């Protein structure tokens, strides 16, 4: 082998070694973490994932369902207690206090005098639009024509939201949201009679 060829081989080998060294330095510089910045991407800790998996598999079906199922909506009194049950435990004196919202427009006296609204004395289980000479709204006359009465159920529905029971009624009262207030008022209205009708039973 000639001297010239040997020199070329040595030069090529040195160049390759130099290239490898330079590439290594560039790579280390590029991937070296920045001081004070911490790692560029935080990997999830396997212990946490494992614990969550173990908790899921060890939980009973009831426990698993309780974590997934939405909480039930709160029930109102009317959903868990029937109207007859509410009336059976209602308070007449408390109903008289609720009736203060009514007496500005309705008489509760036996003379059946009309004010801006029809009288409420002896109203329970009487025909709707019973008072002669009072100008009822068309919807009340329509209900009367259908033979509807002021039963406890109809009074309860009307007092809950009058315009739902009788759309376009003349009465501007918004209604009583409380089931207990309505029950108390109903037993008070029942008491406004010489012959009170019996309370409904289950």
CB contact at 8 A, 165 and 154: yes
Q: What does the angle CA 39 – CA 53 – CA 49 come to, to the nearest 5 degrees?
A: 5
| Separation of alpha carbons 186 and 173, rounded Å | 16
State the burial class of residue 166 (Cβ atoms within 10 Å of its Cβ: 0-12, 13-18, 19+).
Answer: buried
Max distance between CA atoms of the chain, in angstroms, equals 141
User: pLDDT 10s digit of each residue in the chain, 202 long?
Assistant: 566 677 777 787 777 667 767 556 665 555 555 555 555 545 455 454 454 445 445 544 444 544 444 444 444 444 568 999 999 999 999 999 999 999 999 999 999 899 999 999 999 999 999 999 999 999 999 999 999 999 999 999 999 999 999 999 999 899 999 999 999 999 999 999 999 999 999 8
pLDDT of residue 88: 96
| Separation of alpha carbons 82 and 89, rounded Å | 11
pLDDT of residue 145: 97
pLDDT of residue 66: 43
Is the Cα torsion angle 79, 80, 85, 87 positive or negative in sign?
negative
pTM, two decimal places:
0.61
Alpha carbon separation from 79 to 17, 76, 86, 91, 199 (Å, rounded): 87, 5, 11, 20, 20
pLDDT of residue 123: 97
pLDDT of residue 77: 47
| Separation of alpha carbons 89 and 71, rounded Å | 30
């Amino acid at each position: 082998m000639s001297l010239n060829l040997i020199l070329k081989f040595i030069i090529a080998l040195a160049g390759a070694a130099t290239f490898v060294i330079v590439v290594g330095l560039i790579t280390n510089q590029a991937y070296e973490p920045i001081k004070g910045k911490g790692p560029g991407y935080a990997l999830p800790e396997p212990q946490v994932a494992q614990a969550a998996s173990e908790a899921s598999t060890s939980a009973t079906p009831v426990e698993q369902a309780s974590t997934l199922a939405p909480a039930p909506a709160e029930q109102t009194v009317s959903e868990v207690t029937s109207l007859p049950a509410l009336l059976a435990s209602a308070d007449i004196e408390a109903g008289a206090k609720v009736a203060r919202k009514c007496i500005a427009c309705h008489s509760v006296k036996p003379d059946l005098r009309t004010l801006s609204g029809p009288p409420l004395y002896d109203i329970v289980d009487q025909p709707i639009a019973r008072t002669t000479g009072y100008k009822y709204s068309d919807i009340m006359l329509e209900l009367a024509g259908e033979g509807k009465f002021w039963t406890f159920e109809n009074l309860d529905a009307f007092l809950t939201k009058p315009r739902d029971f009788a759309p376009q009624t003349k009465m501007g009262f918004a209604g009583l949201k409380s089931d207990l207030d309505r029950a108390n008022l109903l037993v008070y209205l029942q008491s406004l009679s010489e012959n009170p009708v019996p309370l409904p039973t289950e």
